[in-house]
Structure formats: structure tokens, C-alpha cells
Structure 1
Amino acid sequence: MASPYEVEHNIKPTTKKPTRRPSMSSFFSQLDNIETQNPHAQPTPVEVAAAERLLRDQLAVLRSTAPNHANQAFLDELMNDVESLIDSPPEKVPGVPQSYLDELERVPKKALKKTDTCPICAEPFLDDEYPLVVVLPCHSTHRFDLECVGPWLRLQGTCPLDRKELNKKKEVPKPEEGEEEEEDDGGLYA
């Protein structure tokens, strides 16, 4: 039955399939409490554990409706990692900053296949009208819905699939002993 507003504005009901992804507004609110602009302020273990619990709860909701055993096993593995951090929370959140998420490479909708799914929620990317799919720098096949991988990356800072740390900067190789460092003059001659 349509509401009076829908009838008045001639809004047709849609048969949009509901998404499996739970709302993470509580998680991001807790994360805002942890992160501060003061570089000398450290979050308390209780605050970090609370954020970890919210992430675990999201994964548990996804696990309860997992479409297959492989997705269920993957979510169990992620939940076990989070559980270990709840029991002994770190003093500093090892996750990546929001700016890191903003700079992740986006996958265009045209590059996605109908069979491509998010490893976390197991929903096909193209089920979304406007999919926001990112590829992690650790491997070109590690593609996720940003909504799914964002909370994990903000707290853990590792790829959910291979656990490579993503917030470490690439180090410039130093010359070995005996090798002379060449001066780079930028192609300019005096």
C-alpha cells in the first residue's frame, strides 16, 4: 500500500533487492571519538575495543546471511582476528586514515563483470546501481565494495585477503657499501 505522499507525487514502488550490508554509522561515530586532531592524545583501550566490537558485529551480521560456506569461513577468519584485538586492544589504532581510503583506485563500472563479487559481503558489484568498488594496492585482484572494506582498513590497516600492511610507505632503496651515489642533476649541465 502506497503512502499518501507516494500517491500525491505519483511515486511508483520499486522492487529493489535489499542489501546485506549493515549500517556502520555507529562504528564511524565511535571511530571519530578515537581519532583526534591532537597528536599527543592516545585512545584508551576501552575505546579501541568498542570500535573493534562494532566491526565484529558488522561481520557477524554478514556471516548470518552468508550465501555460501566459503564466504562464511572467510568472515569467521576476519571475526577471529578482530576478537584477538578485543581481548588485548592496541594502544594505537593501526588502521589507515580516511585520506588513504579517499585515494584508493576506483574500479569503473564498465570494468566489472556480472560474476564479480565483494569478498566480504559476497554481493555482486553490479547489483548496486552505482557501485563504489576499490582495488587495494597489494594485488590487482583484491577488489572490494568501499562500504565493506572501509571499516576494516580504518581499524586494521591490512588487506583482508592477504593481511599485507597497507599503511607502510615504500622505502627508497639505499645504495650498498662500495657503491657510489650518483648525483641527479635533472639533466642539467653547467
Structure 2
Amino acid sequence: MSGRELFELALEMLDAGEGSLTISEFLLALSEVNFKTQEGVDDEFLDNLERVDVASLPELAECPICTNKFSENEYPLLVKLPCRVQNGSKKEHIYDMDCIAPWLKLHSTCPMCRFNVKDVALTRKKRLDEETRLAREALGDEDDADEEEEGWDLYG
């Protein structure tokens, strides 16, 4: 049962006991609201996050989530979210992978600036598709390139 379903059930139980007009109106309004669920990122995205060397950071740098100093971790796995790429910020959002991975599995946003990291992936995919299209056009007919690629499955 989702959090929203539990909340609605609790309100319904409260409404049944008290018969409150306010709760009934709130339940009605809640049923009319379409909550957009935001899905997190996949494992591939996490694996491709930029790694950060702890030696490149100030001695007192810490994870914004757990507030532990990066330098005190014996085996730090630090990652940098791509927020700065899109919003032009000079501030880099660096986290312990152990802290940020659970968050990103549920949410696709940076916990500090709320930048949707999936936007970077979409932008990167569009750019790669465009570069591939331009490369095919430069090589000649697009259909010829597709026919050449079709033969490769014989070898792999």
C-alpha cells in the first residue's frame, strides 16, 4: 500500500468516526487530484555518474546527506551529480554513493537543487542521436548504412 493510500484510508476511518464535513471535503478534493509520481533513475545511470577523487576536495568537505567528512571514509566512493551541466551553477553537488543511490532510486532530482538529473540523460541521448544521424548523412545514404549494420549480427 502506498503512502497516499494509507493516508486516504486513515482519513476515511477518521471521517467514519467523526462524520466531519471538513474531512469529507478534503477526501473529495484529494480524489480529484492527480498526483504525478516521479520515478527514480536506473542502475546504469548510477554506474555512469562522474566519480570524484577525495584528494581533490577540501579536507573538511562532507556529504550533504549524512554530514560525514569525505576524508574520514576509509574507502570513499564519491559521485558528482550533473546539476551544474544544465543550470550553469559553479557549485558541484558531491555525495557518498551509499547516501545518494537510495535517493536517486526513488527520485530523479538532486536533493540540494531539485534539478532533474534525467534531463541530462535525455539531452545526451538527443545529442548522440543527432551526431549519429549527421555521421550517417556524411557517409552517404542512410539506408546503405542500415544495410551494412544488418550484416554485423552474423559475427556477434
Runs of 5+ in structure 1 lacking a partner?
1-45, 51-87, 173-180
CA RMSD of aligned residues (A): 3.1
How much does 1:162 deviate? 0.8
1:116 paired with 2:61, answer yes
Alignment of 1:68-107 (within 5 A): 94-107=39-52
Q: In structure 2, what is the equivalent of residue 142 of structure 1?
A: 93
Runs of 5+ in structure 2 lacking a partner?
5-32, 85-90, 128-133, 140-156
Q: In structure 1, what is the equivalent of residue 115 of structure 2?
A: 164
1:129 paired with 2:74, answer yes
1:94–1:110 CA distance, 2 compared to 1 (3 A)? same
Max Rg structure: 2
Measured against aligned partners, the alpha-carbon deviations of 1:141-189 in whole angstroms (never above 9, x if no partner) come to: 10011111111111011011111111231045xxxxxxxx9x9516xxx
1:185 paired with 2:148, answer no
1:98–1:89 CA distance, 2 compared to 1 (3 A)? farther
Q: Percent identity?
A: 35
- The alignment of Structure 1 onto Structure 2 pairs a total of residues equal to 97
1:153–1:89 CA distance, 2 compared to 1 (3 A)? farther
- In 2: Cα distance, 1:150 partner to 1:89 partner: 27
- In 2: Cα distance, 1:98 partner to 1:125 partner: 23
How much does 1:112 deviate? 2.2
Q: In structure 2, what is the equivalent of residue 72 of structure 1?
A: none
1:122–1:108 CA distance, 2 compared to 1 (3 A)? same
